[in-house]
Amino acid sequence: MTSDIISKSPKDYYLANHTTLKIGGKAENVYFPSNKEELCQVKDYLKTLNKEIHILGCGSNVLISSKGIKGGVIFTNNLNGFEFLDDKRIKCYSGVKSATLARALAKESLAGLEFLIGIPGTIGGAVTMNSSAHGHAIKDTIESVEFLDFETSEVLELSASELNLDYRSSFVETGKHFVISATFKLENGDTNQLLKNMNFFVEYRKKHHPPLSEPNAGSTFRNPAKGIYVGRLLEQLGAKGWREGGASVSNKHANFIVNSCNATSVDVLKLMHKMQSAVNAEYSYKLKPEIKCIGYLTREEEEIWQELTSN
C-alpha cells in the first residue's frame, strides 16, 4: 500500500518561489516529510524508481535550472522541531531555520550560535556547509549529527570530530547524505548581551549585503585563501553592476548575484563565469562556487558549470 507521503506528493511543482534567488523550473515530484519514518519512505520509494534525490531547505546557496529538476525533491520545512537535552545541549532537526534557533537560544541565555541570526538558511544546510560569520562557525559548538545515508539506507550518528568540518565543507555530501538532526553544546551567556550581538549582526548584514527583497543566493564564490575576500577582489575590478540578462552583481557586495529582472539559470551561470574569469586573469585565483547548481542543464549551462568547477 502506498503511504500518504507518497500518494499525496505534488507533481510538476514549480520551485522558483522556494529559492532565495527566485529561479527554478518544475520538479517531477516534491515531498514534505514530517518525521524520520516518512523521510525513509520517500527515500526508499525514489530509490526503487531509480530517481535522483534533491534536498531543499530555505533554498539559499542554490541555483536551480530554469528547465527544472528530474527526480524527487525533499523539502525539510516540516522537520522543524528542537528539544533541549539538558541545560546546555539542544537537539535540532534539519528544517529549523537558523535565525529561529539563534533567537530560541538567546531566550535561554545560551551562547555560541547567535551568529546564525543573519544567515538565511536551515540547520541542515548550516551543518553541511559549516556555516560561519563574524569569526564563529558551526564547528565551534556542534557535538554530533544524525544523518541518513541514501546509498546504504543506514541512519547513523557522527561525532564532531568525524564530520571533517572545514571552510564551507563537511563530511556530508549533497545527494548522498541527509542531515536529520544535529546536537549542539552551548555556553552560558547573558540574554541582553546576546540580543545586542544579534542586533549588530543583523544591522551589519543590512548595511553590507543585499536584502532578500533583491533575490540572491548568498555568497557566489568561496574566499580563495585566508584573509583574501572575493567581494573585495571583484570590487577592485569594478564588478558591481555587471549584468548578464536579468542577473546582475549587487551594488552592495560584489560577491552577490541578484535576480534583478526575471533572470534565468543561464544568466546567472554566464555572470558567474565572467566574475571568475576576471579574478583569475587579474589575481591568478581560480574561484570555487559556493552556490550549488542542480537540475536539467542545457549544453551551454553544462559547459559553463564544468568550467566553473574545474580545478
The CATH number given to whatever domain includes residue 264 is 3.90.78.10
| 8-state DSSP, 287 | P
Determine the average pLDDT of the residues in 178-203.
96
What per-residue confidence (pLDDT) applies to 186? 97
Mark whether 137 and 93 lie in a shared domain: yes
Residue type, position 37, single letter: E
Q: Is residue 12 part of a domain?
A: yes
pLDDT score recorded for residue 2: 60
In this structure, is residue 203 part of a structural domain?
no
Judging by DSSP bridges, how do beta strands 89-93 and 177-185 pair with one another? Answer: antiparallel
Helix pair angle (191-208, 98-107), 10° resolution: 150
Is the same domain home to 225 and 185? no
Question: CATH code at 106?
Answer: 3.30.465.10
Q: What is the mean pLDDT of residues 232-244?
A: 98
pLDDT tens digits for 37-55? 999 999 999 999 999 999 9
| pLDDT for position 173 | 73
Residues ≥6 apart with Cβ < 8 Å to 95:
57, 75, 76, 77, 78, 79, 80, 122, 123, 124
Residues 286 and 251 in one domain: yes
- Average pLDDT over all residues of the chain: 94
Please compute the mean of the pLDDT values over residues 146-155 and round it to a whole number.
91
Which three-class secondary structure state does DSSP give residue 39?
helix
Domain end, chosen from 75, 96, 113, is at 75
Dist CA 208 CA 284 (whole Å): 26
Parent domain of 56: 4-75
31 has pLDDT over 80: yes
In this prediction the pTM is 0.93
Per the domain annotation, does 231 fall within a domain?
A: yes
And the C-alpha cell for 232?
Answer: 573585495
- Between 122 and 174, the higher pLDDT residue: 122
Alpha-carbon distance values, 107 to 3, 80, 104, 142, 198 (Å): 39, 18, 5, 19, 12
Report how many domains make up the chain: 3
Q: How far apart are CA 125 and CA 117, in angstroms?
A: 14
State whether residue 202 is helix, strand or coil. Answer: helix
Shared domain for 158 and 250, answered yes or no, is: no
Cβ contact 102:116 at 8 Å:
yes
Query: Does 131 map to a domain?
Result: yes
Neighbours of 153 (CB within 10 A): 11
258 within some domain = yes
Angle at 276 between CA 273 and CA 277, to 5 degrees: 80
pLDDT at 171: 81
Residue 95 sits in the same domain as residue 175:
yes
Domain boundary among 75, 104, 124: 75
Q: Are residues 35 and 129 in the same domain?
A: no
Asked if 60 and 87 sit in the same domain, the reply is no
Q: Is the pLDDT of residue 1 over 60?
A: no
* Grid cell of 25 as nine digits: 523550473
pLDDT computed for residue 13 by the predictor: 96
Between 171-185, 217-231, 242-256, 275-289, the lowest mean confidence (pLDDT) is in 171-185
Q: By mean pLDDT, which of 84-93, 126-135, 241-250 is the weakest?
A: 126-135
The reply to whether 64 and 152 lie within a common domain is: no
User: How far is the C-alpha of 260 from the C-alpha of 187, rounded, in Å?
Assistant: 42
Asked whether residue 130 is assigned to any structural domain, the reply reads yes
Instruction: Give tens-digit pLDDT for 245-285.
Output: 999 999 999 999 999 999 999 999 999 999 999 999 999 99
Q: What is the pLDDT of residue 311?
A: 81
Q: Which of 141, 237, 230, 239 is closest to 183 using CA atoms? A: 141
Mean pLDDT of 196-219: 94
Q: Does 108 lie in the same domain as 180?
A: yes
CA torsion sign, 187 to 192 to 197 to 202? positive
pLDDT of residue 213: 87
- What's the sign of the alpha-carbon dihedral 121, 122, 125, 130? positive
Residues with active-site annotation: 168, 219, 290
Instruction: Using a pLDDT cut of 90, give the percent of the chain over it.
Output: 87
Same domain, 142 and 53: no
In a domain? residue 199: no
* Residue 62 domain-assigned (yes or no): yes
What is the mean pLDDT of the segment spanning 131-142? 92
